[in-house]
Amino acid sequence: MPELPEVETVRRGLEALVLGAVIRRIALHRADLRRPMPLDLESRIVDQPITALRRRAKYLLLDTPAGTILSHLGMTGTWRVAEAERSHDHATLHLADGRRLVYRDPRRFGILDFVAPGAVSPDLADLGPEPLGNDFTPEHLRQVLAARRQAIKAVLLDQTVVSGVGNIYAQEACFRAGIRPQRPANRLRPAERERLVTEVRAVLAEAITAGGSTISDFRQAGGDAGYFQHTFTVYDRAGQSCRTCGGELKGATIAGRSTVWCPTCQR
C-alpha cells in the first residue's frame, strides 16, 4: 500500500512528466473505484493545461484552470504515461501532445474525483497538519494528545491529528523516538513529544529521499514505478532481532493494526 513517501515520489515523477501538458480530454472506463467516479469529469476538463501537481496527505491533486483532479492510490493505484492501454486501466487523460496519462488500479481501492475551482474537497476538509509542514509541532501534539488515552501509535494514524502517517511510519517513528507504541498518548512527556515530532518528520523525509532515487526509473518506466521497498527497523519484523540492541522484537495488534516494537529500546 503506498504511504506518504510513495505518493510524494509519484507526485514528483508526474510533475517531471506532465506539468504544463494540456489535457485534451478524459475517458473514464468504468463507473466506480472505491466509490463512484464523477461522471461529469469528462465534460468538466477539456483542453486544460496541468498547472500544478500537489500532494495533501496521501492525495494527489492535478490542478487545471477548470478544476482539480483528486486522486488517492488506495492499495494498488498507479499513474503512468503510456502508449497502449492495459487491463485494469480505469481512466485515461489524453494529452494534446499525443501521450496518454493513465490511471490503473487492479484492486480498485483508489479514488478519482473532481474538485471545482475554489472548492474544498470533503476528503481534505478534516485533515490535520502535514507531518512535514510547519504546523506539525510539539505544541500541536501537546494540544491534541492532552485528552487522548488511546495508544500513541493509534493516535498517530488519526488523520485529524497528523495527516498521511500510515501504519508503517507510525511504528518506525515510535521506535526511533524510543516510545512504546501502546503508551497512552496523554502520558507522553514533553521531551518525548518533541522527539516524536522530530522522528516522524525524519523517517518520512528519509523515505522521500530514498524514493527520489527511483524517480529516474519512474520517468523511464513512464510512471509505473514509484513503489519501493525500504529497510525498516521494526515494521513487519516481529520475532526478529532489534537492529539496535539485538533483542527480540515483539508484535501485537493495536487498534486493529499489527504493530512491532522493541521492549528494550522503547519505553
Which stretches of the chain bind Zn ion, using CB under 5 A?
242, 244-245, 262, 264-265
Q: Which is nearer to Zn ion, 97 or 267 (CB)?
A: 267
* Active site (annotated) includes residue 58: yes
End-to-end CA distance of the chain: 29
Q: Tell me the residue nearest to Zn ion as measured from the CB.
A: 242
DSSP SS3 for 63: strand
Decide whether 52 or 245 has the Cβ nearer to Zn ion.
245
| Active-site residue (options: 3, 8, 172, 192) | 3
Residue 170 to residue 161: CA distance in whole angstroms: 12
The CB-of-261 to Zn ion minimum distance in angstroms stands at 9
Instruction: For residue 83, indicate whether it is catalytic.
Output: no
Q: Which three cell numbers stand for residue 124?
A: 481534505
Residues 6+ apart with CB under 8 A from 199: 172, 173, 176, 177
Minimum distance between the CB of residue 98 and Zn ion, rounded to whole angstroms? 54
List the catalytic residue out of 56, 243, 250, 257: 257
Active site annotation includes 153? no
129 classed as catalytic: no
* Residue placing its CB nearer to Zn ion in the complex, 80 or 180: 180
Question: Per the residue annotation, which of 55, 58, 80, 104 is the catalytic one?
Answer: 58
Residue 265 C-beta: closest distance to Zn ion, Å: 3
Smallest gap, in angstroms, from Cβ of residue 246 to Zn ion?
7
Could you give the C-alpha distances from 26 to 41, 94, 134, 197, 198, in angstroms and in order? Answer: 7, 6, 36, 41, 42
Instruction: Give the burial string for 227-237 (b: 16+ CB within 10 Å, else e).
Output: bbebebbbbeb
**d(Cα 200, Cα 137) in Å, to the nearest integer?**
11
- Which residues does the annotation mark as catalytic? 2-3, 58, 257
